[in-house]
Amino acid sequence: MNQRVNPKLLLLVLFIGVFTLSFIGSDLQFAASKSLDIKDDFKVKKPSKSNKGNTVLKGNYNGIKDYIDAQYAWADGILADMSLEEKVGQLFMIATYSNRSERDYQSIKEKIKKYHLGGLIFFQGTAPVQARLTNEYQEISKIPLMIGMDAEWGLGMRLSNTTSFPKQITLGAIENNALIESMGYEIGSQLKRLGVHINFAPVADINTNPKNPVINYRSFGESQDLVADKAMAYASGLKKAGVMAVAKHFPGHGDTGTDSHVSMPVVNHSKARLSEQELVPFRKLINDSVAGIMTGHLFVPALDNTPNRAATISEKIIKGLLQEQLGFRGLTFTDALNMRGITNQFSAGGADLAAYKAGNDVLLQTANLDAAYNKILGEFRNGNLEEDDLDKRVHKILRAKYWAGLNKPPHVKVQGLMDDLNNEKSRELNELLFKNAITVLRADEDVFPFVQLDTLAIGTVAVSAPKDNEFQSQMSGFGKVVNYEMPIKPGSSKDWDYIVDQAFTYDAMVVSIHDMNSRASRNFGVSPSTIDMIRALSKKTKVVVVAFGNPYGLKLFDEFPNVICGFEDEPMAYRAVAEVLFGAGSANGHLPVTASPMAKYSFGLTSQNVGRLTEDLPGNVGMDGDKLNEIDGIVNDAISRNAFPGAQVLVARRGKVVYHKAFGTFRYGDTEKVTTNTLYDLASLTKVSATLQAVMMLNEKGLLNLNLKASDYLPELKGTNKANMLVGDILFHQAGLKSFQAFWTHTKTSGGAFKKEFYQDSQEGNLQVAEGLYVKPSIRDSVWSWLIDTDYTTRRKNSNGEYRYLYSDLGLIMMQRIVEEVAGQPMDEFLDQNLYEPLGMTHTLFNPLNRFLKSDIAPTENDQIFRKEQIWGTVHDPNAALLGGVAGHAGLFSNAWDLAKLYQMNLQNGAYGGRRYLYPETVNHFATHLSDRSHRGIGWNKPVQNLDLSSIASSASPNTYGHTGFTGTVVWVDPDRQLIFIMLANRVYPRANNHKLMDLDVRKRIHEVINEAVDNL
């Protein structure tokens, strides 16, 4: 049934809808005056009396009306009690700092009192000092001060030890404007926490001049629509946080070649061009109710042709264009009035007076406060200026203060300030912004991402980067990479000849350019010799150029086929680029400016994500970061109780490492700290990180059948008591084998001496057992014969005559023998070739002293029974040591990051980094509980229902699988929650009888925290 709509009612609904949205969606209530029709007498146009009875709309309207009435009443009351001197003072915001002397701070206090200042703009310093000073300044001010900051990329732009977000030109490469709005909100929240009410951002200038010395990277880009959309997103975020956004520099500072801090820039464009480009962002921001607009020290003849008249002091531009034609009713701010681009034309205070006359509401950073204040005050006293006009502007300023909450006594809480300003949400967002900005400008097919890590030889050259720089460290985290450092800008070929000579040995070389600048006149900080080096390298191998700097500098690399723009020389940009190169993340950015015909606006390729493990922040994968930080306390407490001297803990979810820390030292009382690169003896994690992985690979190839007997693969078992032992039963630990047998006792006399028939003094051709102790290779056959001769366990069988579960090292020694027989090569070689090297596991190996220094490895036990020495760099397990460090049950060394790659491959059902290592059916089958005699999977340990274990959380899902190690290691993989938990420690230092790790339930408690971090969100 059709119903007719009453036109009057429709108009009323639309009116109040606009009224409501103008209030809720505007930076300031007064900034929406165009919609609300706020007149010069400060009255609000209200609906007619005939509409007041509309009960449907009454609630919304009255809420807004009450706010406006209160806002106006507060401003009216303050203004009514103000003297002329106080009103003039409200026009001024002067600069102040939080890194100066108490004498300077006292001077500011005196100026606040003497000149009745309206506000302050803070610059360099520290957040705690600024908070203290803000409280002191507010306390002495009769009318609350409006506090501003020029924080275009966050507090880090001005204050030490606070967050810096990406520059606007970096943000211009991001497709998703919601991320920029989130950044605006986060910056606004931090400003508000610090007692700041105004952010002089965003920059709404369109940078169409690559030689612009003052805007450049501060602009979102060269497109008026891109700049407008991103500026509105930024301003909207600030607005939602309760902070006023001030767009700058009206009418547009983008196409200038002069720095207005030094002299007057000239914008020689027609009115039509200005309207179609430069004014577009400001027009859209005004329609979106931006709180403030800053006028620029620019000479724009098309808008005001009075010679050298800057926009800041042009009545035609400010009153005529900005306020009347464009309808801006917010606060109009001058740019800093101490800049020579404006002060050169006036005597002291003259620029301030001219700026006021032109229509500015707030005079920012005067060059001479006393002269400016008295000059303006004098003009009112002698009748040259009307006080009614001053009242209107001051009333607008007061309404802004009400919107900012200054109708209540302002106070900044200093306690907890730095924690609040450096929060996890900021880190998460910052990383996400950089990841979305990285732009692949050009790329030859099949150059990157780097997939075949076992066959690819990759080199890197970091130009103008410090030694051990973060970018090369990030690159090395993904696989074997040879890094060449070049801390200087090369001046001639002698600086890089040696690199070019070796370039032919690499399949690809990544040349990262650091320490760039935004000055075209300085070649963007890139030396000509750097380009020569890239040319020379390109003749020998494939080269990928990564520019960590201004995108305008990309024109220098036009001749090269593989170019990535990282935008900024920052650690988060390094990580994002490394992820793109190795396929751990994809590039989705597009150039926001044109640098050359080969680097045009909007250029950008989408790169492939091949599924490698990378770092991220907990919130991005649905985890509570604050909860995860509780791990710190658990580990540090355990170290303080001598449960272990040091450890690594890693947590990953959904393919992202969200917690990765190193704790403590190598030894108690030692100064050598554990790092995330430190190698640990994995002990029994070898069973699942080495032997089991090989078994799974051979099983799915049809080479190893778990239902066959071990003697089917090892004929020497036939005719022994182990002739009928099934391979599957060995992996379930239900084959009847004993847990352990001290085979090393066969190699020593009753008096404890090493038998000469086994041991040698020389390393040559022998196996290392410990430092300076070697054994003949024939020992392997001896151990094998001793194992064959062992009796079965005396543990009772079940009613079917089958052996029950009994965890056994002997079974995994036997499995190594089977693996090597089937594979036709030593197990360590098989794993290196087929698993570790392809996965990029550069720190996982048996006998680590063959590739690493002792100082890279955590020590284990001071063995006083078998080897009679401190074990450091050789395997702790005695039987594994006797076998030369390579055994099926122990002997593998690694760190948490390397292991995470392996277990992420398992979690991803056998696929990792663009390659498949195992079929999903294989991974799932081995991790499933299939036996009625053992709680375990095939090789894997699993949770035991109704049994409280010391190494696994009670909240872990039943599908969780993993293992523990005698030295204090553990790994748990939870496919239901997509979680990986790894902890490596050396609890056996200096004695293996230290059980505090188990007594304190350290591993279990950490695992509980990890699961709670998921469940909390």
Instruction: Please identify every residue annotated as catalytic.
Output: 261, 335
**Which residues, other chains included, contact 419 with Cβ-Cβ below 8 Å and sequence gap of 6+?**
none
3-state secondary structure of 686: helix
Pairing type for strands 979-985 and 646-653 reads antiparallel
Size (the chain), residues: 1017
Report phi then psi at 817, rounded to 5.
-65, -40
For 401, 570, 755, 890, the CA distances from 861, given in Å and listed in that order, are 67, 42, 23, 15
Count of beta carbons in the 10 Å neighbourhood of residue 817: 21
DSSP 439-461: EEEE--TTTSS---TTT--EEEE
**Which residues, other chains included, contact 628 with Cβ-Cβ below 8 Å and sequence gap of 6+?**
618, 651, 658, 659, 1009, 1010, 1013
Q: Which amino acid is at 691?
A: T
For 131, 132, 164, 708, the CA distances from 126, given in Å and listed in that order, are 9, 10, 14, 71
DSSP 915-945: EESS-HHHHHHHTS---SS-SS-SS-B---T
**307: cis peptide before it, omega within 30°?**
no
How far apart, in whole angstroms, are the C-alpha atoms of residue 991 and residue 989?
5
For 360, 802, 904, 971, the CA distances from 733, given in Å and listed in that order, are 83, 12, 25, 19
- 747: DSSP letter: G
Spatial CA neighbour of 816 closest among 885, 889, 902: 889
Report phi then psi at 302, rounded to 5.
-65, -20
For 60, counting Cβ atoms within 10 Å of its Cβ (0-12 exposed, 13-18 middle, 19+ buried), the class is middle
User: Can you say how many angstroms the Cα of residue 429 is from the centroid of all Cα atoms in its chain?
Assistant: 7
How far apart, in whole angstroms, are the C-alpha atoms of residue 681 and residue 872?
9
Looking from the CA of 493 toward its CB, the CA atoms found within 13 Å total: 7
State both tokens at 487: 């801390």
188-227 b/e (C-beta count within 10 Å ≥ 16 → b): bbbbbbbbbbbbbbbbbbbbbbbebbbbbbbbbbbbbebb
How far apart, in whole angstroms, are the C-alpha atoms of residue 51 and residue 62?
12
State both tokens at 699: 């099983």
By the 8 A CB rule, do 170 and 435 touch? no
Torsion angle of the four alpha carbons 473, 474, 480, 481, in this order, in degrees rounded to the nearest 10: -70
- 143: DSSP letter: S
By the 8 A CB rule, do 548 and 566 touch? yes
Q: Which amino acid is at 50?
A: S
Report phi then psi at 352, rounded to 5.
-65, -45
Spatial CA neighbour of 615 closest among 662, 577, 655: 655
244 strand-pairing partners? 198
DSSP 348-369: TTHHHHHHHHHT-SBEES-S-H
Spatial CA neighbour of 717 closest among 737, 702, 743: 737
How far apart, in whole angstroms, are the C-alpha atoms of residue 694 and residue 561?
40
End-to-end Cα spacing for the chain: 47
- Which segments of 674-813 are extended strands (E)? 680-681, 759-760, 767-770, 773-775
